[in-house]
Chains A and B, each alone.
Chain A
Amino acid sequence: MSYKGNFKIWRGDDESGGLEDFIVEVNEGEVVLDIIHRLQATQAPDLAVRWNCKAGKCGSCSAEINGKPRLLCMTRMSVFTEDETITVTPLRTFPVVRDLVTDVSYNYQKAREIPSFAPPKNLGLGEYRMKQQDVERSQEFRKCIECFLCQDTCHVIRDHEENKENFAGPRFLMRVAELEMHPLDTEDRVREAQDEHGLGYCNITKCCTEVCPEHIKITDNALIPMKERVADRKYDPIVWLGNQLFRRGSHKR
């Protein structure tokens, strides 16, 4: 049940690099990360790859396989034919460190720019009460394993380096949505989503949803609802008028 598979793996650093050919043994039931590990143990001991849990739970081994952003540990070899050449490259949206490892610090920087959960001041330990149906929306977003594949595939920054400054990316716009929908968060995050975190850059082409290994409906459940909330606040004269007349929404702040 084992065969010799053809691989092209990108090796190099921030100055130069290219695809290198390898022929490696592939066994039944293996994933691409197993092959990379076999390469390390047999042919290329210094091949750099980032990984951790090998079970799709930590989101470390993000790379691009045949041009698609994927987790190395969750891509089974059985989805390829035996004569197919499999190309593995590092994420192409972030600076490369070495081989398959990229510098993902952009994401940690963006994480810091999102104002944190603002708990209610009047509740003590053990006094939080939230209904299951109220936490479910945010719970979906909290499944995120921060593999940053959505950030990698998003053309807003993948194809336009200059947008990195003004765009938080799907992962962190989803974080804004998560807090906005958190039943006990006291902060208003709507205007900031558009003005500070670049929600308007998103053109909802859904690539983030397509690549999400946790199958989070990022676009439908986080980004579009945020866009609608922004529309409430910024682009909806009826709501605006309603707020003026009945002073609704003032309790939200």
Chain B
Amino acid sequence: MVQVQVERFDFDVVVIGAGGAGLRAAIEARQQGKRTAIVSKSLFGKAHTVMAEGGCAASMGNVNAKDNWEVHFRDTMRGGKFLNNWRMAELHAKEAPERVWELETYGALFDRTKDGKISQRNFGGHTYPRLAHVGDRTGLEMIRTMQQKIVSLQQEDFEEHGDYEAMLKVFPECTVTELIKDGDRIAGAFAYWRDSGKFLLFRTPAIVLATGGIGKSFKVTSNSWEYTGDGHALALRAGATLINMEFVQFHPTGMVWPPSVKGILVTEGVRGDGGVLKNSTGERFMFGYIPDVFKGQYAETEQEADGWYNDQDNHRRTPDLLPRDEVARAINSEVKEGRGSPHGGVFLDIASRLPADEIRRRLPSMYHQFKELADVDITAQPMEVGPTCHYVMGGVEVDPDTTSSTVPGLFAAGEVAGGMHGSNRLGGNSLSDLIVFGRRAGLGAATYVDSLERRPTVAESEVDAAAHRAVSPFDWPSDGQAENPYTIHAELQQSMNDLVGIIRKEDEIQQALDKLVELRERAKFVAVEGRREFNPGWHLSLDLWNMLLVSECVAKAALMRTESRGGHTRDDFPSMESRWRNKLLVCSSDERGEYAVVVEKPQEPMREDLLELFELSELEKYYTDEELAQHSGRAGQ
């Protein structure tokens, strides 16, 4: 019989996830005087944020003084095809510089400009050099910086209370399986230690989800095993809603060979620093793929594109740096039309564009990654790259200012939150999203805790139910075949990749949905061997339920949106439709997370002063005539 012993902890705020958003939220909550826990599936400091390479977008204007929050806001909205939550995009553009500077006070060492300020680099979709960076390991720098800030806060607490963990405790290698509510509000979270398999209960009025994305539901992905959509699924089961789940970003440049590293990211910084995409005939094909909405903003000849790296005032940027969705689709088409590289990608060439030393200096980890994983010397040979599942724009529907979900006490920040990036995220906007909304989540949770008259309580029956559900994979089915979690996971990844991947069709999505129903049935019979101590088969079984539920949201929303926009491309509906721009697809589920429902909902219209930041001619490409009737440019006509 299962032993149901549960360690219990009381906190004011529990942050689930120890990536950039989680750590920033925890720092803020602790600075607001709240007893805070950080629960992480991995060791402290190993979060997926470390994989972010290119940089952190913030309009500090250190390299080009013309940059400001308004330009950043416009770029973000354009990148997201105007489907973004405009308030989030506004807060993000306004607050990013301060959040980056704050990191310096924690000890971060970004690359510098000649006059000693933070250097900024070019990136796809950003008008000016905007990305604060450290070589190509910016995410690592941010995680380490915030990790060390947390240690420094713990040292302060040690001085005051004689206990490092008095106010801020990290629970490494610990997975949350259930959120527990008291009535309609959050009351706690149920979790297990990955190493011992023992259970824990957090009694807390406020939970911040910062669990990242869902990439592990796809076969070719740049995401690590942690990205199983836990936060998305926990939110759904707690009664919160997800939006924009049909928008999944496929990063245009992932490694395609050798097979074991397929999907691992090749930073956009390669293109920002001069790398160009070529097909098997040696043609720089991106010039043929500039979409109408971007006509006039990108260089049309190789000569102009090459001039841009050094003189941005008199040249338009290279189409190699179009937003990620455009580049990913272009690569996809080239490969389909038979102009791909030997292993089914295209070539990314920096070797012929920069001296070897310069490449090694600017892109050290790319150099090592190819050298050590693929035995390719990027200073001498082109890389082979192809699209890889990278980021989900969709996530928990939140209030922009407080990051609160529709469930009181449940907050979300970072990739797990939806809205900020609309239908497509710009490179570099993720790291800044983490710190801007991570901080707001910590603040929002702390304010919420202060506003409570009574702390919610956890019912014992809920704890027992969560424990029983958690150990159920150890019960071998008395009749019928036991299912292997690894097999189901592999089948899920294959069908999501093939049927709900970068290019989608109605009948294929339908097939995927049928497959999901089948897998969900089979997942009920998943059974694992061994004990609860560090048992990866068991861990996967629990994660699998989350992946299945979230995949259903993705597929259902993808089926409903009959247009192509950003990270959602329908072969049967190839154009972008203005009437869809304002529609959010909202996903919810039943309490046990057995099925997902997706409904349409209109988005709140953009505040007028923000709308005025755009030229009418640009808005006309995205908005319907009715929506623009009140615009000052038209009202005068």
Q: Which A residues contact B (CB, under 8 angstroms)?
A: 13, 27-31, 34, 40-41, 45-60, 74, 76, 78, 97-99, 101, 103-104, 108, 111-112, 115-117, 119, 125-126, 128-132, 135, 138-139, 142-146, 179, 182, 185, 215
Check B531 for interface membership: any CB of A closer than 8 A: yes
Majority secondary structure, A binding face: loop
Whether B97 pairs with A126 at a CB distance below 8 angstroms is yes
Identify 19 new A-B residue pairs, CB closer than 8 A, beyond the known A30-B258, A31-B261, A97-B195.
Answer: A30-B259, A40-B537, A45-B537, A46-B537, A47-B536, A48-B535, A52-B225, A53-B224, A56-B372, A76-B375, A103-B195, A108-B172, A112-B164, A116-B151, A132-B111, A143-B140, A179-B107, A182-B107, A215-B368
Whether B261 pairs with A55 at a CB distance below 8 angstroms is yes
Most buried by B among A34, A53, A76, A182: A53
Chosen A-B contacts, 23 in total, with CB atoms closer than 8 Å, are A27-B259, A31-B373, A41-B490, A46-B530, A46-B537, A47-B536, A48-B535, A52-B225, A52-B226, A55-B265, A57-B137, A78-B375, A101-B534, A112-B155, A115-B155, A119-B105, A125-B102, A132-B111, A139-B109, A139-B134, A139-B135, A146-B45, A179-B107
Q: Within the assembled complex, what's the spacing in Å between the Cα atoms of A99 and B330?
A: 45
Check B186 for interface membership: any CB of A closer than 8 A: no
Looking across the interface, which residue of chain B has its beta carbon closest to that of A75?
Answer: B372
Whether B141 pairs with A142 at a CB distance below 8 angstroms is yes
Q: Within the assembled complex, what's the spacing in Å between the Cα atoms of A179 and B106?
A: 12
Q: Within the assembled complex, what's the spacing in Å between the Cα atoms of A240 and B112?
A: 35
Whether A130 pairs with B109 at a CB distance below 8 angstroms is yes
Partner of A45, one of B105, B257, B259, B484: B484
Partner of A46, one of B141, B144, B528: B528
Most buried by A among B140, B141, B257, B369: B140
The 3 nearest A-B residue pairs measured at CB: A29-B258, A46-B530, A116-B152
B148-165 interface mask toward A, CB cutoff 8 Å, 1 = contact, 0 = none?
Answer: 110110110010000010
Partner of B529, one of A45, A50, A56, A182: A45
Q: Within the assembled complex, what's the spacing in Å between the Cα atoms of A98 and B140?
A: 28
Query: Which chain A positions have C-beta within 8 A of B107?
Result: 116-117, 119, 179, 182, 185
Whether B369 pairs with A13 at a CB distance below 8 angstroms is no
Check B335 for interface membership: any CB of A closer than 8 A: no
Most buried by B among A56, A58, A101: A58
Check B46 for interface membership: any CB of A closer than 8 A: yes
The contact size tier of chain B is: 35 or more
Whether A129 pairs with B535 at a CB distance below 8 angstroms is no
Q: Within the assembled complex, what's the spacing in Å between the Cα atoms of A108 and B530?
A: 29
Q: Within the assembled complex, what's the spacing in Å between the Cα atoms of A62 and B556?
A: 40
Whether B105 pairs with A125 at a CB distance below 8 angstroms is yes
CB distance from B268 to the nearest CB of A (A): 16
Q: Which B residues contact A (CB, under 8 angstroms)?
A: 42-48, 50-51, 60, 97-98, 101-102, 104-107, 109, 111-112, 114-117, 119, 134-135, 137, 140-141, 144, 148-149, 151-152, 154-155, 158, 164, 172, 195, 224-226, 257-261, 264-265, 365, 368-369, 372-375, 484-486, 490, 528-531, 533-538
Q: Given A40-B537, A145-B50, are A117 and B140 neighbors across the interface (CB < 8 Å)?
A: no
CB distance from A184 to the nearest CB of B (A): 8
Whether B101 pairs with A126 at a CB distance below 8 angstroms is yes
Q: Within the assembled complex, what's the spacing in Å between the Cα atoms of A59 and B137?
A: 14
Looking across the interface, which residue of chain A has its beta carbon closest to that of B534?
Answer: A48
Whether B109 pairs with A182 at a CB distance below 8 angstroms is yes
CB distance from B403 to the nearest CB of A (A): 22
Q: Given A51-B225, A55-B369, A130-B116, are A46 and B50 neighbors across the interface (CB < 8 Å)?
A: no
Query: Which chain A positions have C-beta within 8 A of B98?
Result: 125-126
Q: Within the assembled complex, what's the spacing in Å between the Cα atoms of A131 and B117?
A: 8
Looking across the interface, which residue of chain A has its beta carbon closest to that of B113?
Answer: A132
